[in-house]
Amino acid sequence: MGANSYFRNKKVTVMGLGLLGGVGDIKFLAESGADIIATDLKGEAELAPSLVVLKDFSNIRYTLGRHELADFRGRDLVIKAPGTPLDSPYVAEAHKHGTPVTMWAALFARFAGEMGALVVGITGTRGKTTVTAMVSVVLRTAGKKVIEGGNVQGTSLLPHLPELTRDTTVVLELDSWKLQGFGEAKISPNIGLFTTFYADHLNYYKGDPSAPLRTGMDAYLADKANIFLNQTEKDTLILGTQVEAIIKEKYGDQIKGKLLVASGLSSEWHLQIPGEHNRYNAALALAVARELHISDEISKKALEAFKGVPGRLEFLREVRGVKIYNDTTSTTPESTIAALEALGPAQTIVIAGGTDKNLPLEGLAGKLKEAKGVVLLAGSGTARVVSSLQEAGGSRIYGPYEVLAPAVTKALELVEPGDTILFSPAFTSFEMFKNEYDRGEQFNAVVQKL
């Protein structure tokens, strides 16, 4: 049965209308004839861009600014949003009434598997976006038919279902929330790749009330582990060296497929993007290519031509001899540390700060104190940065600024020709910006006006 036929007349509740790509999935369901309830805690004004796209569909009903338990009863399927609370009463209501609960990426991956496509899934605290892009560019250079998605901004997956064939390779970037859906669906990618594992999202993963000894980190790793827990002996798990030990220790007896650990990248391979962390990422992409029998010659050509991903240590421009980089997707201390190590902290002014995720900051403070200066943005995590920097001996600290443009102006006042300005927040964005992409776009706009 085709996907369109499968969804016809199905009663589907979509929990989280979204602004970053989910609207395309809802549109596909509506075009397929599903009976849809779309419910979101955001109000009509905030969701206006998505509502405009869907305005002509009479088979979509909306519950906005709230959720209602009634919308989760008597349905054939509930599709929940990433980040839905683990103890959500609405998800519990669906389960109570025997309604399957899934997520967009898991739903797409299930259909892809049934249609014979190969699914490559990539997860990790750091590196997953870049590795996803690298794998995709290598496969395309090799002439493969590729569908790329998952965490990719502004993309929807379900509209690609009609394109799937046995010759398609699906490359999915999968965060821990999307992998919750894989766990609920009891599926894993044919090739699972795990880049790195660090503390993250501890404002969400607060431990498991049903298992008091299970920490937030354990719960976070448990969701990540769905990248391989439902693999078979025909499948492959590729680990980065940073995550190898913890996966083998915690889950070694649950790995059913072939296990590979990516080796380092040859010094003869010259990447355009800076940093040892990007050479690590390229080595992981190369491991996928080799597993798919793509020659090193093709992989080298593709990876050496790869120019990076927007918002990930992205070089924007040079102003009066000062290079400016946008690393807005840095939402953890480790990613900002990696960016500083790639560029060299001594001649770098860092613009950082934002919304706290309750992550350890000692390592970040130690690296920031090596920087030429730190310009801080306002946010719940910023006071902790100041405190940690003071304990570490402190770099020159400026701010916090509640508006981005003055922060950039201050950074420009502090630099000399040959220096670097690095926008790498190390925190999430939600107090000053809609999301990390909005944050990055605002930074780009400020820089282009310089």
Residue numbering of the annotated binding site: 124-130
* Bond prior to 212 in cis (omega within 30° of 0): no
Q: Give the residue carrying structure tokens 């490559």.
A: 120
Buried/exposed 227-264: b ≥16 CB within 10 Å, e otherwise:
bbbbbeeebbbbbbebbeeebeeebeeebbbeebebee
Backbone angles phi, psi at 167, to 5 degrees: -95, 0
List residues forming the annotated binding site for ATP.
Answer: 124-130
Buried b (16+ CB within 10 A) or exposed e, 2-21: ebeeebeeeebbbbbbbbbb
- Tell me if residue 371 falls in helix, strand or coil: coil
- What distances in angstroms separate CA 232 from CA 71, 187, 192, 254, one per listed residue? 36, 10, 11, 10
> Per DSSP, what are the bridge partners of residue 340?
none
Smallest CA-to-CA distance from 169 within 200, 195, 138 is with 138
- Contact, 202 vs 357, CB < 8 A? yes
Chain-centroid distance of CA 188 in Å reads: 17
Beta bridge partners, 147, equal 170
Q: Distance between CA 96 and CA 93 in Å, rounded?
A: 5
